């Protein structure tokens, strides 16, 4: 791997442990100002000290993030559809690689919709983007999207999606945690990160999901709603960080979270 590619990737996947804690705030590109992201700057600010990288669109990067931001930036470059339109899978490339260079992106991300009417379109989008990004040493993160079909989050399907993304040249992949997640990781020769999906019932569910993914060989998270929709986002990201970078167990992470929430309520 060339120096530029390695340098950019190291801003996201930390070289000391090979893991990443990425906070995505790109949901508005098809969902609009959803709960927790009405004011992206306000959502992001308390999380910055604890994250490795953010994932977002160029519009939110330019308008809501200070240019002296010194962590990794994954630029979302696919879109062109909306939650009220006919098809969530009907995505194209919406931001050029030249723009990614101009914005000093550490990586770019694009969704693929395997098994949908737009499978071919999104996979060829991925391949074309990779061809161009490889020329400039920019890593591409493939997002294995399921749209509204959350039931698709099972090992056989996700292993298929992740492997296809890696075969096309994605440098890393974002997918979902599932039973048998080790099969997804084993079949994919590049790092696999997990999204959180809709907010889970308890904090412990989130901690167990992350811990389980790491135990199965996963490389970390690109996790949004389960962190910034929590009542205590800063406590939540610190507990998540303890699991990812300090090998905390779900129980230890939960104790840490509870302690931080108590301190917060006392104004410590």
Instruction: Please list the active-site residues.
Output: 174
Q: Kindly tell me which of 204 and 255 has the beta carbon lying closer to ligand 5RP.
A: 204
Q: Kindly tell me which of 8 and 225 has the beta carbon lying closer to ligand 5RP.
A: 225
What does the buried/exposed string (b/e) look like for 153-167 if buried means 16 or more CB atoms within 10 Å of the residue's CB? beeebbbebbbbbbe
The binder of ligand 5RP chosen from 79, 196, 220, 233 (CB under 6 A): 196
Name the minimum Å distance from CB 103 to ligand 5RP: 17
Name the minimum Å distance from CB 3 to ligand 5RP: 28
53 neighbors 72 (Cβ within 8 angstroms): yes
43-48 long-range contacts (CB < 8 A, ≥24 apart) are 43/228, 43/233, 46/233, 46/234, 47/23, 47/227, 47/228, 47/233, 47/234, 47/237
Q: Which residues pair with 194 in a beta bridge?
A: 175, 221
Site string for ligand 5RP, 22-51 (x = CB under 6 A): --x-xx------------------------
- Could you identify the residue written with the tokens 């009417």? 117
243 neighbors 42 (Cβ within 8 angstroms): no
The binder of ligand 5RP chosen from 36, 139, 191, 224 (CB under 6 A): 224
Could you write out the DSSP letters of every residue in 2-35? Answer: -HHHHHHHHTTSBTTTTBEEEEE--THHHH-S-T
For 12, half-sphere exposure in the C-beta direction (CA atoms, 13 angstrom radius) is 32
Which window, 126-134, 156-164, 194-202, 258-266, contacts ligand 5RP (CB under 6 A)? 194-202
Which window, 10-18, 19-27, 99-107, 184-192, contacts ligand 5RP (CB under 6 A)? 19-27
Per CB under 6 A, contacts with ligand 5RP among 111-150 are 143
The binder of ligand 5RP chosen from 223, 235, 242, 261 (CB under 6 A): 223
Q: Is 64 helix (H, G, I), strand (E, B) or coil?
A: helix
Name the minimum Å distance from CB 263 to ligand 5RP: 26
79 binds ligand 5RP (CB under 6 A): no
Contact footprint for ligand 5RP (CB under 6 A): 24, 26-27, 55, 143, 195-197, 222-226
């Amino acid at each position: 791997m060339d120096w530029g590619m390695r340098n950019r990737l190291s801003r996201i996947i930390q070289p000391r442990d090979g893991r990443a804690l990425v906070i995505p705030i790109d949901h508005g590109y098809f969902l609009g100002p959803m709960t927790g992201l009405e004011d992206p700057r306000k959502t992001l600010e308390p999380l910055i000290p604890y994250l490795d990288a953010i994932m977002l669109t160029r519009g939110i990067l330019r308008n809501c993030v200070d240019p002296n931001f010194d962590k990794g930036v994954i630029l979302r470059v696919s879109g062109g559809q909306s939650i009220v339109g006919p098809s969530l899978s009907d995505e194209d490339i919406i931001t050029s690689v030249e723009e990614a260079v101009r914005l000093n992106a550490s990586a770019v991300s694009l969704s693929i919709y395997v098994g949908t009417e737009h499978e071919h379109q999104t996979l060829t989008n991925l391949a074309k983007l990779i061809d161009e990004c490889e020329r400039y040493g920019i890593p591409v993160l493939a997002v294995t999207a399921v749209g509204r079909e959350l039931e698709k989050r099972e090992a056989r399907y996700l292993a298929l999606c992740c492997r296809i993304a890696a075969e096309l040249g994605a440098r890393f992949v974002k997918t979902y945690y599932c039973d048998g997640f080790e099969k997804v990781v084993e079949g994919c020769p590049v790092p696999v990160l997990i999204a959180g999906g809709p907010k889970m019932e308890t904090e412990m569910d989130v901690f167990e999901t992350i811990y389980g993914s790491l135990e199965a060989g996963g490389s970390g998270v690109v996790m949004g709603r389960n962190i910034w929709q929590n009542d205590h986002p800063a406590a939540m990201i610190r507990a998540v960080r303890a699991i990812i970078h300090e090998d905390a167990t779900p129980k230890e992470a939960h104790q840490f979270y509870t302690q931080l929430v108590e301190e917060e309520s006392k104004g410590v």
